[in-house]
Amino acid sequence: MKIIKTAVSAALAAAVSFSAQAAEVEVLHWWTSGGEAASAAELKRMLEERGHTWKDFAVAGGGGESAMTVLKTRVVSGNAPTAAQIKGPSIQEWGDEGVLADIDELAEAEGWDDLLPEVVAEAMKYDGHYVAVPVNVHRVNWLWSNPEVFEKAGAELPTTWDEFFVAADKIKAAGFTALAHGGQPWQDATTFEAVALGVGGTDFYTKAFVDLDADALSGETMVKVLETYRKTRQYTDAGAPGRDWNLATAMVINGEAAMQIMGDWAKGEFTAAGKVPGKDYVCSAAPGTLDAFTFNIDSFVMFALDGEDASEGQADLASTILSPAFQEVFNLNKGSIPARLNLPMDKFDDCAKLSGADFVATAETGKLVPSMAHGMSTFSSVQGAIFDVVTEFYNDESISAEAAARKMLSAVQSAQ
Ligand code: GAL
Taking only the tens place, the pLDDT of each residue in 358-398 is 999 999 999 999 999 999 999 999 999 999 999 999 999 99
CATH value at residue 280: 3.40.190.10
When the pLDDT of each residue in the chain is averaged and rounded to a whole number, the result is 95
| Residues 266 and 379 both lie in one domain | yes
Distance of CA 138 to the CA centre of its chain: 6
pLDDT score of 184 more than 80: yes
Mean pLDDT computed over 199-226: 98
Q: Which of 333, 355, 377 is the last residue of a domain?
A: 355
- Of 30-39, 305-314, 366-375, minimum mean pLDDT range: 305-314
Question: Are 236 and 213 within one domain?
Answer: yes
Residues 169 and 67 in one domain: no
Residue 212 within a domain: yes
Domain membership of residue 259 (yes or no) is yes
Distance CA 319, CA 315 (A): 6
Residue 393 one-letter amino acid: F
- Is residue 164 scored above 80 in pLDDT? yes
Same domain, 165 and 133: no
| pLDDT digits 0-9 by tens, 227-236 | 999 999 999 9
Instruction: Using the mean position of ligand 1's atoms as its centre, give its distance from the Cα of residue 296 in Å.
Output: 8
pLDDT at 84: 98
- Alpha-carbon distance values, 246 to 34, 181, 229, 313, 330 (Å): 8, 10, 21, 32, 18
Tell me: do 233 and 110 sit in the same domain: no
Atom 1 (ligand 1) nearest CA: 63
Mutate to test the pocket of ligand 1, among 71, 135, 265 (most ligand atoms within 8 A of CB): 265
Give the position, in ligand 1's atom list, of the atom nearest the Cα of 268.
Answer: 10
Map residue 71 onto helix, strand or coil: helix
Domain check: are 99 and 181 in the same one?
no
Stretch 102-106: mean pLDDT, rounded? 96
How far is the C-alpha of 300 from the C-alpha of 134, rounded, in Å? 7
- Residue 363 located in a structural domain: no
* CA nearest ligand 1 atom 5, residue: 63
Q: What is the C-alpha to C-alpha distance for residues 215 and 204, in angstroms, rounded to an integer?
A: 10
- Percent of the chain residues past pLDDT 90, beyond the cut: 94
In a domain, residue 162? The reply is: yes
Residues 113 and 49 grouped into a single domain: yes
- Report the pLDDT averaged over residues 323-335: 98
Pair 393, 232: CB distance under 8 Å: no
Which ligand 1 atom is at minimum distance from the Cα of 297?
Answer: 8
Q: What pLDDT does residue 13 have? A: 47
- Cα(190) to centroid(ligand 1), Å: 11
CA of 214 to the centre of ligand 1 (A): 29
Q: What is the mean pLDDT of residues 317-339?
A: 98
Determine the distance separating the centroid of ligand 1 and the alpha carbon of 64, expressed in angstroms.
7
CA dist., res. 245 & res. 174, Å (int): 24
Across the strands, what pairs with 24? 53
Q: Which atom of ligand 1 is nearest to the CA of 375?
A: 7
Q: Which amino acid is at 407?
A: K
Residue 122 has pLDDT above 70, yes or no: yes
Q: Whose CA is nearest to atom 4 of ligand 1?
A: 265
- How far apart are the C-alpha atoms of 41 and 278, rounded to whole Å? 27
Q: Is the pLDDT of residue 401 over 70?
A: yes
- Three-point CA angle 351, 352, 357, nearest 5°: 100
pLDDT at 17: 43
Whether residue 151 is found in the same domain as residue 129: no
> Which domain does 372 fall in, by range?
142-294+368-415
Specify the length of the chain in residues: 416
What pTM was computed for the model? Answer: 0.95
Give the pLDDT band (50/70/90) at residue 15.
very low
Q: Is residue 179 part of a domain?
A: yes
In angstroms, what is the span from residue 319 Cα to ligand 1's centroid? 22
Phi, psi (deg, nearest 5) at residue 132: -145, 160
Pocket test for ligand 1, best of 138, 139, 141 (most atoms within 8 A of CB): 138
Pair type for strands 53-58 and 129-130: unpaired
Do both 10 and 147 map to the same domain? no
Residue 362 within a domain = no
Q: Whose CA is nearest to atom 2 of ligand 1?
A: 63
Domain stop point among 327, 355, 383 = 355
Q: How far is the CA of 325 from the centre of ligand 1 (A)?
A: 21
pLDDT digits (tens, 9 = 90+) for 238-257: 999 999 999 999 999 999 99
Confidence of residue 185 (pLDDT cuts 50, 70, 90): very high
Q: What is the pLDDT of residue 140?
A: 98
Does residue 175 belong to any structural domain of this protein? yes
Look at ligand 1, atom 11, and give the residue with the nearest C-alpha.
Answer: 63
Q: Give distance in angstroms: CA of 305 to centre of ligand 1.
A: 26
Task: Say yes or no: 125 and 150 in one domain.
Answer: no
d(CA 375, CA 86): 9
Domain count, the chain: 2
Shortest-distance Cα residue to atom 8 of ligand 1: 298
| pLDDT for 8 | 52
- Measuring from each residue's beta carbon to the nearest atom of ligand 1, which residues come in under 6 Å? 30-31, 36, 62-64, 138, 245, 265, 296, 298, 374
**pLDDT reported for residue 93:** 96
Say whether pLDDT at 11 is over 60.
no
CA of 182 from ligand 1 middle (Å) equals 14
pLDDT at 10 over 90: no
Does a structural domain hold residue 360?
no
CA of 343 to the centre of ligand 1 (A): 22
- Ligand 1: centre distance to CA 63 (Å): 5
Nearest atom, ligand 1, residue 245 CA: 6
Tell me how far the alpha carbon of residue 185 lies from the centroid of ligand 1, in angstroms. 14
β partners of residue 299: 134
Type of residue found at 154: G
Which pLDDT value is given to residue 21? 81
pLDDT at 390: 98
Residues 266 and 121 in one domain: no
Of residues 363 and 18, more confidently modeled: 363
